[in-house]
Amino acid sequence: MNKLHQSACAAYAQHLPLVAAAILAQPVTRFAEEAAGLASGESRAETKRTFSSSACRVIARERLLDQMLKARRRRCIVLQGPVGCGKTSLLLAWRESLLLLGFDIAWQTFTAEENDLARCLDGLIASLAQIGVEISNEAALLLERGVNEEAIERIVIALVRGIAQHPNDIALILDDVHCMTNGQNLEALQWLLDFAPSNLHIVLVSRTAVPLSLGRLRAQDLVLELDACDLRFTLEETETFLKAQLGEINPREVRRIHELTDGWVTGLQLFAIRLKRVGQEKAELTSARALSPASLPDARTLDELFEREVFSRLSSLEVTLLISMSVCARLCNSLCIALGGVQQQPADVLALLAKLENENLFITPVMGSSADAGHSGWYSFNPLFREILLGRFRAQSSDAQREVHRAAWIWFRDHDHAEEAVRHALLAGELDTAVQLVRQMAKTLRISGFRKLANLIRLLPADEIHKHIDLRLWMAMLHLYAQNFEACAADIRALQRDIAPDDHSALYQLTVLQVVLGVQQDNVDAVVELVPTLMQVPENADGLMVGSCNNILSWFYAHKGEYEEARRIQTESPKLLVNGAVLLGAAAGMLNGRCLMGFSYSLEGKFVQAERIYRDVLFESKRVGGQASESTSLSSALLGEVLYETNELAAARKLLEDHIDILERVSIPDTVLRVFMTLAAIHWVAGQPQETFAYLARLEEYATRFGLDRLAAASVSEQVCRHLLRGQFDAAQSGLARLDELTARCRAPSTIFSDEIHVAVERAHIHWLLAHEDFNTASSKLRALIALCEARGWQRHWVAFQMQTALIDARLGRLEAARQTVLDVLPRASRLGLVRTLIDAGPTALGLITQVMQSEPPDPILSFYLSRLQAAQLLSEVSEATAATSNATAQRFIEALSEREAKVVSLLAQALPNKKIARTLGISPETVKWHLKNIYGKLGVSSRDEAVARVRDLNFDTAPHAHDAHALG
């Protein structure tokens, strides 16, 4: 602290002890954390505003605002300064300017309670959802499945992808980052900062140094940092502020007040209030007495300040009402009336609120709030003021505190604010009431998503949950959706012991839970055993029960090969209703049921019909919004397989890769299998075998983690086939050994999945035989598979294996047999809408088809079909040639570069200017120019822009040198 500041503080402390104490008291710096303590389920941005918004209304800080507007498209803006230094007021003004420029704004205020990772991510997701629910749908679904080290990154990536697809720039304001001390929370924020797409601009607001790594962004000039010195009011800003608050004021007084407060906005606000209170009386502002550490005040002094400046101006009933209001982090007229109880007349309550707002007495409208039915918009107390009110509230008797919380929970219950209702019921000591509230609201919250239901259940003590069968059933379902299958199975075993034999509804819900667990674990034997019980739906069943039964049975009959029955269950079912509303979203909803109808068509090989259903469901799911997130994910996953089959490779890749994490985390094994197999095939066609094997390995790892033999067999079988196509016989033989081990350890054959595993294993062995030219044995095995597929109704597989048989016959000179097989295959393949199945049958498949068609009388339908196949083949050849040329060019270019040139190229790909490249590599700008001249020659370009474009075309950032260069950042 400089000498001028010391003397100013000394004078201030002697002559204005209350204001000086408020400014200098250290304990009050915790007001933001405490302000959210009783209502951590409510909006975090609602707990900070009054001093800031008041300042924002009376002064626009053009000096800082101009800097922030110029930096609006940078990756990050950092505001670091002590409490009350004007950070929020500046952000509010900046926000207004950005809205005029077409930006969307999300605001998340952290609290100490949000050191819990789930609550931190939940608040972040909710703040972005206010811009558009589509941004956070996938992240919210992932969060419902629980959080661990792997899930954090997946959730952040889901948010990043959602943001990247948003049409506007987004400014995400993260307030009170200093409250984040949990390492996992900081890791999540760091990933969000590192992965941020170009349309995301993050503002970090903190009282202390931001605990995140900004070095790379600083080196790229992507950060604006404003500290306490920058945030202090200048003398001119102080004068503008005081004139707005007090009218005309002597410039000399302005200067003296500015020196005493050191430009600290909260001090200026408190000073202005005091001068208003004493009617502009001039206080003596000079003193020579030094300020010693012993004289530093504590939080009690702030209480005295508010007593003098606020409470003394109110009646005792008004003060009592203020104290009661402080239990809620946000307020509205009707809530305040309820908190006032019978002692306060509604008109008096409304008059008090109007007085507080009009006289700027530490209450402000909540940013972005809207009026609920029956009451006006929301308000929040200044957190500093609320801290004092809460202190007085805690000093009241226990009975008085419980009465206020009781009024709060009743109001929140009646206005559909579930979490606040339960929280206040618990604070009121009404544990039974809180439990009943959760039980009553559980079903409704399940429809809108598991996250809200999970939050409610977590509020209840574990021993209370254990007393109620329905809550235990919900807890088991939460474990299931979090993929904690062991915990779910343990819950089921305990419930089987404890549910009464005459509790038919609970027993049926338990059956549904067991079957869904069986589906998730690919335990078809458990499903088969429980299907008869599942079909005995209780008479009083609601839409959730009926929908769950319908969807499980559709899945079951589709896998049995009874496709018409799988679809009939959905088409003949009446509308599913829950509390009088149609159940569209959720796993048990009608949209998921239609997806399963499409799935039955896919299993049957009828991709034309499947595509129509998936597209309709996807459209309807997006129209419904967040409640249909599960349907959106399911239809996207299944549609991706169809798009690959019809050779719409780019569309399939975008649909699946943009949502890969969410699809892996929230899908049933069938969809996970199709997603990874489809992406592997897409990359193979694109000439990217490493990506193909990476996706297949990821599928195998998923299958191993959850013990899914069917998925493991499909993955390893595909790896064997791809290795053989590349001539990698040792790797293929290793895969065959893994398949044989898998077959040996599989359970006794079931009526469903054993055939799928058998087909996958035999397919790999057939490719091995073909690679070793043992055509007769391969042909024999193919005939057996063709018969199996015909019996099971797997028409797509039937077409693929028949086409392979035709290719073998043609290779062995059995041309008539080959011709007849092709003529048998084509009409069916055309009706099914198959394209890639025929092309992927072998490199000479299309040639054989063309040869056969040319020898036959013209058929308009099959001729048109052949043209589609030829166009798809041509597209694949172009893609492969492009990939091969690009890879070869990139490799030659990399080999031609020196180590230093490679590092320069890597930084060039980031479009960094020469000076930044020089600073990063520790060389002179002239040396950079010399390297660039050589690089231009090797690239065959003449300008910097051409070089940047060419380097990006070559995907240079995947090269080893590029990784070395990135490390320098």
605: left (phi over 0), alpha (psi -120 to 50) or beta: left
Residues 505, 538: Cα–Cα separation, whole Å = 7
Q: How far is CA 170 from the centre of its chain?
A: 15
In this prediction, residue 896 has a pLDDT band, given cuts at 50, 70 and 90, of: low
Per-residue model confidence (pLDDT) at position 954: 59
Per-residue model confidence (pLDDT) at position 172: 95
Q: Identify which of 756, 805, 802, 755 has the alpha carbon closest to the alpha carbon of residue 779.
A: 805
Report the share of the chain in percent with pLDDT over 70: 83
Question: Read out DSSP for 556-604?
Answer: HHHHHT-HHHHHHHHHTSPPPEETTEE--SSTTSHHHHHHHHHHHHHHH
* Residue with more model confidence, 483 or 828: 828
Per-residue model confidence (pLDDT) at position 903: 78
Q: Are 467 and 498 in contact (CB under 8 A)?
A: no
Q: What is the pLDDT of residues 49-101, one digit of tens each?
A: 444 444 444 456 788 998 999 999 999 999 988 777 788 888 888 988 898 88
Q: What is the pLDDT of residues 153-206, one digit of tens each?
A: 888 888 998 999 999 999 999 998 888 888 888 888 998 998 899 999 999 998
Q: Average pLDDT for residues 772-785, to the nearest whole number?
A: 95
Q: What is the pLDDT of residues 598-644, one digit of tens each?
A: 999 999 999 999 999 999 999 998 888 777 888 888 899 999 999 99
Per-residue model confidence (pLDDT) at position 120: 85
Q: What is the pLDDT of residues 343-374, one digit of tens each?
A: 788 998 999 888 887 776 777 776 544 444 34
Per-residue model confidence (pLDDT) at position 910: 63
Per-residue model confidence (pLDDT) at position 302: 61
pLDDT value at 446 more than 90: no
Residues 16, 527: Cα–Cα separation, whole Å = 77
pLDDT value at 728 more than 80: yes
- Kindly report the pTM of this predicted structure: 0.70
Q: What is the pLDDT of residues 257-309, one digit of tens each?
A: 777 767 777 777 777 776 766 554 444 333 333 322 222 233 565 677 678 77
Per-residue model confidence (pLDDT) at position 718: 97
pLDDT value at 560 more than 80: yes
Q: Average pLDDT for residues 857-862, to the nearest whole number?
A: 85
Per-residue model confidence (pLDDT) at position 309: 73
